[in-house]
Amino acid sequence: MAQQTDTDILLTISSLQKSYTQGRLTPVQMITTIITKLKQRGDDGIWIYTLSEETLIERAMALTNMSASQRSQLPLWGIPFSVKDCIDVAGIPTSAACPAFAYNATHTNTAVQKLLDAGAILIGKTNLDQFATGLVGIRTGYTAPHNAFSKDHIPGGSSSGAALSVAHGLVAFAIGTDTGGSGRVPAGFNNIVGLKPTRGLLSTRHTVEACRTLDCLSIFSLTAIDAQTVLEIAQGYDPDNPFSRPAIVPPASLNSDQTQQSFRFGVPRANQREFFGNADVETCYDNAIKALTNLGGVCIEIDYEPFLQANSLLFNGPWVAERYASVGAFIEANLDSVFPITREIILGAKDMTASQAFEGIYAMETLKRKIQSLWQEIDCLVVPTTGTIYRIEEIKAEPLRLNSNLGYYTNFVNLLDLSAIAIPNGFQGNGIPTSITFIAPPYSESYLVGLGSVFHHVFNNQLGATTFNLEIAPSLVQK
């Protein structure tokens, strides 16, 4: 871990708010520090577009000049964030990581607008797997980013830039998207939290769609509590988005005073766990199971086969045709402008039939019914976020198969209408982070954040790739 300096700022919401309240920091000072960091890093593949220094300082000055009563009405006053560049912000280009596709957005995504209205400061738009197609994070028409802990390893995708902007302490939180794991895989690879809410809680209006019926906005942050804070502000029923859904009363959260409360967590049977030869991730996962058991959890092995069957439908079934419906016409007219493997995946859906689409829907409804009773036996499912990680050169050599491997524990979540959160789970022997994901029925975000936060504190993990550690919660110190 890098040595901390006097100029380092811990960019969590609570830490910034405390510094602002105590007069130790102003939004202008915070923004000036971020601008300096961005200049020092140069073109690192994280950003596709950043707002000008003048615009950022002007925004920070406007917030600083507000009265105390005005500030009190803005729950994200002076909090910096980033947005994945397939999500529209008015007046800023949206490229979906394809320069030829870029257009100047005339509207702002509803959820992002709520964050801006709450006083947050947008730093810029982040890189991604082109058209949000992939879990590797390097399929871009711009500079390809790399893992926050290794120049040789992938950062995870598709929301690679969003996750990296948080991991490197450039923003307090980031808004990404998650169709088949894109809000969890890059979180796991870069030692941060990735919250994938229930489909429809965050409006997807004014985005470049991947799979319109499955797409979710996702939240990256250094802590689970920060992710919950952002969700509560950004969520809301959007009557102009046909896939928006109102929130319902969530289950009770598990907080630090309830660590002895028994909870039931499911894990795949031993012969259904896949680590693709990575013994370190397997060991970390085994350790996570032990830690959760020590926290009062009851571990129950479940049949993972229905989830694997759902996985196969995302890229091998008719849902890939939604990607063609979104950007297929553009790709056919601009073949040379699109990343080759992205072009192959999306155009491969061109000949799918309506009957195949209905067959896929029938199959998915059958799987939903099959796993419905499972939630009477367990409170959540706990899986590795990914079974392994790959080097950039490995992905270039085998892009399809290795990308598919990364979705082993993620692809099914939106198809089965579940909620999930990825939480850091220590480091492999090579210094690369690993992670576990807690999965539960829709509208379980509060419960998942509570349980994930408790688990996160057990390890007192380094926060992202920053110089800061998660503070130890006294009630969670292991005896």
Mean pLDDT by 10 residues, the chain (479 residues): 59 96 95 97 97 98 95 97 98 98 98 98 98 96 98 98 98 97 98 98 96 95 97 96 87 48 92 98 98 96 96 82 90 92 89 89 93 95 98 96 96 96 96 97 95 89 91 42
Domains delineated in the chain? 13-476 (3.90.1300.10)
Neighbours of 424 (CB within 10 A): 27
Measured between alpha carbons, how far is residue 167 from residues 115, 318, 374 in Å?
20, 35, 35
Q: Which residues are catalytic?
A: 84, 158, 182
What pLDDT score does 319 carry? 83
CA dihedral 435, 440, 442, 447 (to 10 degrees): -80
What pLDDT score does 251 carry? 55
Q: Compute CA 37 distance to the chain's CA centroid, rounded to the nearest angstrom.
A: 23
Question: pTM here?
Answer: 0.95
41 forms bridges with which residues in the sheet? none
What pLDDT score does 32 carry? 97
What pLDDT score does 448 carry? 96
Rounded Cα distance, 426 and 285, in Å: 10
What pLDDT score does 257 carry? 47
What pLDDT score does 260 carry? 44
